[in-house]
């Protein structure tokens, strides 16, 4: 548990750029450096997280922590990865100021450029492992086209479904390979209980709000529903949070936008924006208590679903047909990451020759010089400031 906590605390401090970039940081630290899991098993977890509502990168981290050190490891991974940005976002609810001026804007822009390098490195590495033949390369390319043209979480889930179906047809020889052999310490009974709790809370919390009128229950219900109904996590949850907090008058529109602006510069999961909203909310206890309640509520449904599905998914994936389908789904994951590398990662970060050059430098540092990612983050931030002030 201590090893898991320290590994994910490091990731929580340096993983800038949103859920897609987080997956790149996870792969570099836990697949390449620490070898907790191989690329195929890692892609399986990424594909599974795309099927489920909730914060995709945090779900992958939760599963990796569970794989390494059981239930305690899963909790340690969640706490360590979430703590840095959550603490900063809750503190911002009290400070009430955001990054400003050319230096602050330059740092944010530089961190976006780092995300380009991190995601490009992840796509490059995963493609070599997961798309080694024409069939899987074609699936990856098709998935990328589908996501780029379709956009949104529906296109991502559809790409993985189509990839799995094509895998059944095109990847039969892969189905004969041995399974990766991931063993999660979750029984089917525990899985069923978690799925039942997820459904009971989703249906029961609104009824409890109507019966009690409690501000605390209202806060839990709003953030639980937001976490339960969003696929892919990250920026996708923001419209739901805006509807639950701004439209209801709990948080002002200016405060919401200020917190959202700061969240772009935070490492770790964007879902920690919920901590800021809970702390600033006029409903519930507010302050640190409100922030913690909102954080737990928005993350809980995704973790309940993941824990509920793992024991059944683990059994299916050992069958040859399931392995062929997962080979196709894994190739689709590469395509989805490639599509995300283009939009929004590349299109929002690379806006001219200077930012392209910085992105290229960061990529070469990662890929050729094997530079630790935290150093690349510093290089990107400093480079962003230089570009902004020159």
Residue with tokens 């806060």: 219
Angle (nearest 5°) at CA 221 between 89 and 71: 70
Question: How confident is the model over 253-306, as pLDDT tens digits?
Answer: 877 877 776 776 788 898 999 999 999 999 999 899 999 999 999 999 999 999
Which residues of the chain fall below pLDDT 70? 96-100, 151-153, 175-182, 231-236, 261, 264, 314-315, 317-318
Residue-range definition of the domain harbouring residue 195: 1-96+134-345
Decide if 154 is inside a domain.
yes
- What pLDDT does residue 125 have? 84
Closest CA to 345 of 230, 274, 264, 227: 264
- What pLDDT does residue 376 have? 87
Q: Is the pTM of this model over 0.85?
A: no
CB–CB of 29/57 below 8 Å? no
- What pLDDT does residue 234 have? 62
Decide if 248 is inside a domain.
yes
- What pLDDT does residue 233 have? 58
Decide if 177 is inside a domain.
yes
Decide if 172 is inside a domain.
yes
- What pLDDT does residue 153 have? 60
CB–CB of 238/201 below 8 Å? no
Contact residues for 156 (Cβ-Cβ < 8 A; gap 6+):
50, 147, 231, 232, 336
Q: Please tell me the total count of domains within the chain.
A: 1
CB–CB of 168/325 below 8 Å? yes
Decide if 376 is inside a domain.
no
Question: How confident is the model over 309-360, as pLDDT tens digits?
Answer: 988 876 676 677 877 887 888 888 888 888 888 887 788 889 999 999 999 9
Tokens of 199: 């459904």
Contact residues for 250 (Cβ-Cβ < 8 A; gap 6+):
244, 277, 281, 282, 283
Q: Is the dihedral of CA 7, 8, 9, 10 positive or negative?
A: positive
- What pLDDT does residue 136 have? 95
Please, what is the end-to-end C-alpha distance for the chain in angstroms?
46
- What pLDDT does residue 230 have? 73
CB–CB of 150/162 below 8 Å? no
Alpha carbon separation from 123 to 25, 34, 330, 389 (Å, rounded): 12, 19, 12, 32
Torsion of the alpha carbons at 2, 122, 234 and 236, rounded to the nearest 10: -150
Decide if 206 is inside a domain.
yes
Residue with tokens 């809980």: 300
């Amino acid at each position: 548990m201590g090893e898991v906590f320290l590994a994910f605390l490091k990731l929580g401090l340096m993983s800038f750029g949103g859920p897609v970039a987080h997956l790149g940081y996870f792969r570099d630290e836990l697949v390449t450096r620490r070898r907790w899991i191989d690329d195929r098993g890692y892609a399986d977890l990424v594909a599974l997280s795309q099927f489920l509502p909730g914060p995709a990168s945090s779900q992958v981290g939760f599963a990796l922590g569970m794989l390494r050190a059981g239930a305690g490891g899963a909790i340690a991974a969640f706490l360590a990865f979430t703590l840095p940005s959550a603490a900063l976002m809750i503190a911002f609810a009290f400070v009430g100021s955001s990054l400003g001026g050319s230096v602050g804007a330059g740092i944010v822009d530089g961190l976006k450029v780092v995300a380009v390098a991190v995601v490009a490195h992840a796509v490059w590495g995963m493609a070599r492992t997961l798309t080694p033949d024409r069939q899987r390369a074609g699936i990856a390319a098709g998935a990328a086209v589908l996501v780029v043209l379709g956009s949104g979480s529906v296109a991502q889930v559809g790409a993985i479904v189509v990839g799995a179906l094509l895998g059944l047809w095109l990847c039969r020889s892969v189905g004969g390979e041995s399974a990766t052999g991931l063993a999660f310490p979750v029984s089917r009974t525990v899985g069923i209980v978690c799925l039942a709790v997820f459904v009971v809370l989703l249906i029961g919390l609104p009824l409890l709000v109507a019966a009690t009128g409690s501000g605390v229950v209202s806060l839990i219900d709003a953030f639980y529903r937001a976490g339960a109904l969003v696929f892919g996590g990250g920026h996708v949850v923001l419209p739901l949070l805006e509807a639950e907090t701004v439209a209801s008058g709990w948080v002002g529109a200016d405060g919401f936008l200020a917190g959202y602006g700061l969240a772009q510069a935070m490492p770790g999961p964007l879902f920690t924006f919920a901590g800021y909203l809970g702390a600033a909310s006029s409903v519930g206890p507010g302050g640190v208590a409100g922030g913690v309640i909102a954080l737990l509520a928005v993350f809980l449904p995704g973790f309940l679903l993941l824990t509920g599905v793992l024991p059944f998914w683990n059994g299916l994936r050992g069958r040859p047909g399931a392995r062929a389908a997962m080979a196709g789904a894994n190739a689709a994951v590469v395509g989805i990451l490639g599509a995300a590398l283009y939009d929004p990662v590349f299109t929002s970060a690379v806006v001219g020759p200077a930012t392209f050059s910085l992105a290229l430098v960061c990529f070469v540092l990662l890929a050729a010089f094997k530079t630790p990612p935290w150093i690349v983050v510093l290089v990107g931030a400093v480079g962003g400031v230089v570009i902004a002030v020159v």
